[in-house]
Chains A and B, each alone.
Chain A
Amino acid sequence: MSQVVLEAKSVVKKYGDQTVVSGVSFSVNKGECFALLGPNGAGKSTTMKMLYGSVQITSGELYMLGISLKKNIRDVKARIGVVPQEDGLDPEFTVYENLEIFSAFQGIDSQVAKVRIEEVLKIAQLEEMAHRSVESLSGGMKRRLAIARGLLNHPEILILDEPTVGLDPQARLWIWSFIQQLLSEGVTVIMSTHYMEEAQKLCNRVAIMDKGKILAMGTPSSLVKELIGKEVIEVEMNPKEIIYFVNRMNSEGISYQTARNQLNVHLKEGQTNEQLIQRFHGYQLTIRQPNLSDVFLKLSGHDLRDEPL
């Protein structure tokens, strides 16, 4: 039985009478990569902030490394690393000084910190930038510095809030391989993302969130298999035609999803596509593997707002 390092029980966050997170429950095992997946405004960032103590829990319980966050969040903070979405680097200091100052905040002895700073600079490939001002770094470098800062205390869990937002593809790839490296070393990774492919590539398990709730949770492949099937046929047509085909499929018990001028037909295991391809003869057809975007679309009824379909 694997060890649970994070347990969220009916966690709620309200601002006044506005509920941002409405009772989410999930747990993360040691060594796992777990993602909260959902569009902007789904409540995943707020949930992440509750995990690392920047947002107070309105009700519910959060246990990290067996410690209740309500009771002793400082002990938890000493053992986890956090890479917030906004980096939060100190513009008045150099790369090295940023790490030095944060080591002090972490309560790391200054001699120990010296060694560790060199290590994390190397991991983040920022050795040459050590004495440059933070302002002179590119977006990708800034994110890597924020990651280096999160690693200073040898965290058992690394929390990354939208780690690749706003980065160019190269910087994103670097972060992906970094996370994979970290996982191979046994560190638990908890992240939030609105990139389906990111979650699919990196994570053992995902929780799909929308409007403050978790809609589904599981491994990316099982979610796709159970909720969508083995294949998706995308057919381009106008809304009127969509209605006609939808009525037909409803009576036949074929599952589908509509989106703008597109009809997505979901094929389950054991169903064949030949008959359907014939039915849609003359339309623009694409047959592809199902993915987490399909899952999200099916569960939420709407598209991931930032993700092209």
Chain B
Amino acid sequence: MNIHVHKIPSVAAGIRHVWNRNFLAFKKSWLVSAFWILLEPTFFLLAIGYGLGSFVPTIQGLSYADFFYPALLCTTSMMVSFFECSYANFAKLNYQKTYSTMILSPLRPQEIVLGEIFWGATKGFFSVLGVTVVATIAGHDLNSGIFGAWLILLINSVVFSALGMIIISLVRNYDGIVYPTSGFIIPMSLFSGTYYPLEQLPELLRYLSYLFPLTHSVALVRTLVTGGSLEWYHGLQVLFLLSLAVLLTLTAIQRIQKKIIQ
């Protein structure tokens, strides 16, 4: 008789296997994904950075395109991660029963959620690389500050992946994802110092915008990409983003766990 030794995968291995499932699915259509990932920022850089930007002399001592590019990195990271973990994962949670099947194996709910969040962040980061490539080809300065910026963008992607997972634990159908998108994600992309400096906002709205994670990502990434000097408060901003990433991830784990083990 065969003796089958069952070794239980470690937590890290569990997360990796979940991540890998998504990577394998992505590999099937990566060319199409990559095309869109590169095309969209090209449109934005052209239309906003160069089109609209040609009417703006300088902004905080930068050309408008240079001012806008770091923000584009941040909004791309946010959008791609959020949509991956909301729309795509809503189907896995409810229609495809992907998580219900995963839980039949020794995988734990937290490994599933972490694997999904890291995958969302990976895809967000992949898009960030795409934007970097497009922008560099378009003539934007590429300096060592990009490494720091990438790190911030990775944290930013985790924040919005985790947020996406929390949203799908709350909504009943796809329409339910539209409200947080229109009510939170889109406004954030407009009021976080993305298209114009925060100083342009009325005082109340400006203080409100400090609550947006994107505001801090944009400030950090802009400083790093444009070679600005780092100040003490940048440390606080990093801390804010990191704490938010941890808090939202823990919330996502707790909420999705209840969804897959009833």
A residues near B (Cβ < 8 Å) are: 15, 49, 52-56, 74-75, 77-79, 82, 84, 86-93, 97, 101-102, 104-107, 150, 153-154
Find out whether the CB atom of B106 lies under 8 angstroms from the CB atom of A55.
Answer: no
A–B pairs, 20, beta carbons within 8 Å: A53-B261, A54-B100, A54-B103, A56-B262, A74-B8, A78-B6, A78-B7, A82-B104, A86-B97, A88-B104, A90-B96, A90-B98, A90-B101, A92-B28, A101-B17, A101-B20, A105-B105, A105-B107, A107-B6, A154-B2
Which listed residue, B2, B107, B261, touches A54 by the CB 8 Å rule?
Answer: B261
A75 CB contact (under 8 Å) in B8, B18, B20: B8
Indicate if the CB atoms of B101 and A107 lie closer than 8 Å: no
Q: Which of B83-107 contact A (CB under 8 A)?
A: 96-98, 100-107
CB distance from A298 to the nearest CB of B (A): 33
Check B21 against A101 for contact (C-beta < 8 Å): yes
Give complex CA distance A104, B16 in Å.
10
Given A74-B108, A93-B24, A102-B105, decide whether A107 and B98 contact each other with a Cβ distance below 8 A. no
From A15, A74, A154, name the one whose CB has the most chain B CB atoms within 10 angstroms: A74
Flag whether B260 is at the interface (Cβ < 8 A): yes
Q: Main SS of chain A's interface residues? A: loop
Complex: chain A residue closest to B13, CB-CB:
A107
Interface pair B6/A153, CB less than 8 Å apart = yes
Report A-chain residues with C-beta under 8 Å of the C-beta of B28: 92
Contacts of A97 in B (CB 8 A): 24
Which residues of chain B from 1 to 47 have any CB-CB distance to chain A below 8 Å in the complex? Answer: 2, 4, 6-9, 13-14, 17-18, 20-21, 24-25, 28
Write the chain B residue with the least CB distance to A107: B9
Question: What separation, in Å, do the CA atoms of A153 and B105 have in the docked complex?
Answer: 10
Contacts A88-B96, A93-B25 known; list 18 others, CB within 8 Å: A53-B104, A54-B100, A54-B262, A75-B8, A75-B106, A77-B106, A78-B6, A84-B100, A86-B100, A87-B97, A88-B97, A90-B21, A90-B96, A91-B96, A101-B21, A150-B104, A153-B4, A154-B4
B25 touching A92 by the CB < 8 A rule? Answer: yes
- Set of chain B residues within 8 Å of A15, measured between Cβ atoms: 262
Let me know if A84 and B261 touch, CB within 8 A: no
The 6 A-B pairs of least Cβ separation, nearest first, read: A88-B101, A105-B105, A107-B9, A78-B6, A74-B106, A88-B97
Q: Whole-angstrom distance between the alpha carbons of A150 and B104 in the complex?
A: 9
A102→B101 contact, CB < 8 A: yes
